[in-house]
Structure 1
Amino acid sequence: MLATVLAIAGTLLGSIVTGLFQHASAGRTEKTARREQHRAAQLEAITALAVAISDHRTAMWVRGDARLKGDPEDRVRELQTRSHATRSAVTRPLVALRLHVTDQAVREAADAMVGATYAMRDAYTSTDDLTRARAAALAAHDRFVDVSAQYLQIQSA
């Protein structure tokens, strides 16, 4: 009789311990999944912003070049419309970056990149000015990518 009681108690205790281990394991799995999902959202926000600002930088270059070369006014207006669309396309990934990445260095690099690209509009005075503004925007873009890559590597460590 005592052996039966001990066997039942041992079985119950084993079940409880197994349940506790399974619960802890499920919690770790869920936490890991949330962390991976957050990292994927960060990577998407960073990548989408880099692509959107690249598209806008190209549109600003083409628009400025057309204006400086004296292209017809309707062509310049068409390029202006395109550059407005690419600028608008920067907003969504910039907001996503602000929501998913709290690192100050990444945010500052993003702001510098966006600001340098937007500043190309003020460089429509000469081809040299436009070229310098484009080079500054490209350098800011590269810095943003480098700072973001460093941040993501630290996060995954």
Structure 2
Amino acid sequence: METTVLVILTTVIAVLGTLAGSIVTGRYQRRSAEHAAQIARGDALRRDRLAAVTDLAAAVSEHRIAMWARGEAQLKGDAPDRLADLRSRSHETRTAITRPLVALRVLVTDPAVREAADDMVTATHALRGADTDVDALARTRQEALAGYDRFVNVAAAYLGN
């Protein structure tokens, strides 16, 4: 009888040990999977933020180039057809800013990055009214370039965290 009780007790202890080991292993695996998923989400968010920053910077750069060409052509008195083409191109590049700007606003909540983005866009849009003389156009272009550089630097510092 004692041997039977001892065998049963040993079996119960072995089963409980196995169950406890399974529970601990399961929890460890679940936490490990949750941690890996959290890291993957963080990496994906960082990639999305980087894409938003670079897409916005590229769109603003294209718009600045288009506005410079438009202003320069206006000042030189280019043919109306050329001016119309450049106006159309600048409208396209201005519209192309919207999507990456919205993506940046959704993905990046940092006020410094948002402010730098807004300043960059505003400075670039200011090229539209600067086609009164060459100096005003060049000055406004330099301000737009400075806004661009500031945005890139602020965003790089933010993404470097």
- After TM superposition, the score normalised by the length of structure 2 is 0.94
- Give, in angstroms, the shift of residue 57 of structure 1: 0.1
SS for the counterpart of 1:71 is coil
Letter aligned with residue 61 of structure 1: W
- Give, in angstroms, the shift of residue 115 of structure 1: 0.3
The whole-number CA distance in structure 1 between the counterparts of 2:98 and 2:13 is: 67
Which of 113, 118, 121 matches 1:106?
113
The whole-number CA distance in structure 2 between the counterparts of 1:123 and 1:13 is: 75
Which of 128, 135, 140 matches 1:121?
128
Matches within 5 A, 1:77-96: 77-96=84-103
1:36 equivalent to 2:43? Answer: yes
Q: In the alignment, which residue of structure 2 is the partner of 1:57?
A: 64
Q: In the alignment, which residue of structure 2 is the partner of 1:149?
A: 156
Instruction: Let me know the Cα RMSD of the aligned residues.
Output: 0.7
- Give, in angstroms, the shift of residue 35 of structure 1: 1.1
Structure 2 stretches lacking a partner, 5+ long = 1-6
1:72 equivalent to 2:79? Answer: yes
Q: In the alignment, which residue of structure 2 is the partner of 1:12?
A: 19
The whole-number CA distance in structure 1 between the counterparts of 2:48 and 2:90 is: 27
SS for the counterpart of 1:97 is helix
The whole-number CA distance in structure 2 between the counterparts of 1:5 and 1:91 is: 67
Q: How many corresponding residue pairs?
A: 154
- Give, in angstroms, the shift of residue 34 of structure 1: 1.1
The whole-number CA distance in structure 1 between the counterparts of 2:27 and 2:56 is: 44
